[in-house]
Amino acid sequence: MARVNKLKAIGIVGSPRKNGNVDTLVQTVLDGAAQAGYQTAKYSLNEMKYSGCQACEYCKSHERCRLEDDVGKLLQDIKEADAVVFGSPIYFFQFTGQFRLMEDRMYSLIDAGFKSRLKPGKKAVIVTSQGNPDLVSYEKATTEFADVLKLLGFEVKEIIRMDSGSAKDAVLGRKDLLDKARSAGLAL
Ligand SMILES: Cc1cc2nc3c(=O)[nH]c(=O)nc-3n(C[C@H](O)[C@H](O)[C@H](O)COP(=O)(O)O)c2cc1C
């Protein structure tokens, strides 16, 4: 009997807090995706060893990043994935340093003419968390990252933004966001 390959969804967590708000929401999206039949995997950037982009431009002539580190492997997995859940807390109005170092390395996913090298049809979910109760603050960080994903050819299916997330487990009291995350995964 022919083996049917499962669709693949990966999650990327840019928070250093294990089981924190972003980690939990990314995991919940992945749980929904698994329920929908996806094979899933999660990357915790804080536990990985990697450098920032070196601006060597190797990727423009070789189709891949020259750096052979943990993010090099993650970039390969992004190429193979059908859906990616990108998650980061807000640190000083922006996504975390851990996340942004990884984001710069996504430069290798576009060619010299700024065209995406990714196969079309990839889906994305963005997850953020912030301490500030006002969700209007830092909206720009998310919309700018969504623009990066659109440049890369992703269809951004859902954006989940948590407010008042100073406590690591604050999300456990946010059934609305946990439900939204599971539904986003189920709908991938
Ligand atoms: C270095 C640092 C900078 C932060 N900067 C902001 C900020 O600018 N605005 C904000 O609302 N929260 C800020 N926070 C709070 C986090 O965004 C918030 O606790 C978030 O929910 C953490 O997500 P996590 O639980 O997934 O780690 C900051 C936290 C740290 C440690």
Domain total of the chain: 1
Domain assignment present for residue 115? The answer is: yes
Q: Residue 28: its pLDDT value, please?
A: 98
Residue 2 has pLDDT above 60, yes or no: no
Query: What pLDDT does 5 receive?
Result: 81
Percent helix, strand and coil across the chain, each rounded to 5? 40, 20, 40
State the pLDDT at residue 182.
Answer: 98
pLDDT at 39 over 80: yes
Is 8 part of any domain?
no
CATH of the domain at 150: 3.40.50.360
Q: Which domain holds residue 83?
A: 19-186
> What pLDDT score does 163 carry?
98
Indicate if ligand 1 lies below 6 Å from the C-beta of 128: no
High-pLDDT (> 90) share of the chain, %: 97
Burial class (CB in 10 A: 0-12, 13-18, 19+), 121: exposed
From 27, 44, 90, mutation site for ligand 1 pocket: most ligand atoms within 8 A of C-beta: 90
79 lines ligand 1 (CB under 6 A): no
Is there an atom of ligand 1 within 6 Å of 25 CB? no
Neighbour count for residue 167 (Cβ, 10 Å): 12
**Is 67 within a domain?**
yes
Residues 153-166: what's their mean pLDDT?
Answer: 98
What secondary structure, in 3-state letters, does 28-75 show? HHHHHHHHCCCEEEEEEHHHCCCCCCCCCCHHHHHCCCCCCCHHHHHH
What is the rounded CA–CA span in Å between residue 136 and residue 132?
A: 10
Give the residues across from 159 on adjacent strands: 126
171: tokens are 């999300």
When the pLDDT of each residue in the chain is averaged and rounded to a whole number, the result is 97
Q: What is the pLDDT of residues 66-120, one digit of tens each?
A: 999 999 999 999 999 999 999 999 999 999 999 999 999 999 999 999 999 999 9
User: Ligand 1 pocket, 86 CB below 6 A?
Assistant: no
Question: Does the CB atom of residue 90 touch ligand 1 within 6 A?
Answer: yes
Total residues belonging to the chain? 188
pLDDT(4) > 80: no
- Ligand 1 centroid–CA 75 distance in Å is 26
Residue-wise pLDDT tens digits, 111-158: 999 999 999 999 999 999 999 999 999 999 999 999 999 999 999 999
Choose among 15, 33, 35: nearest CA to 24: 15
- Closest C-alpha residue for ligand 1 atom 21: 165
Does the beta carbon of 92 sit less than 6 angstroms from any atom of ligand 1?
yes
pLDDT computed for residue 106 by the predictor: 98
pLDDT over 70, % of the chain? 98
Q: At 1, is the pLDDT very low, low, confident or very high (cuts 50, 70, 90)?
A: low
User: Is the CB–ligand 1 distance for residue 117 below 6 Å?
Assistant: no
Q: Is residue 118 part of a domain?
A: yes
Does 79 reside within a domain?
A: yes
Rounded distance from Cα 159 to ligand 1 centre (Å): 18
Tell me if 127 is assigned to some domain: yes
In this prediction, residue 55 carries a pLDDT of: 98
| Ligand 1, atom 15, residue with closest C-alpha | 131
pLDDT score for 89: 98
Report yes or no on 12 lying in a domain.
no
* Any atom of ligand 1 within 6 Å of the Cβ of 114: no
In a domain, 158, yes or no: yes
Q: Is the CB of 98 under 6 A from ligand 1?
A: no
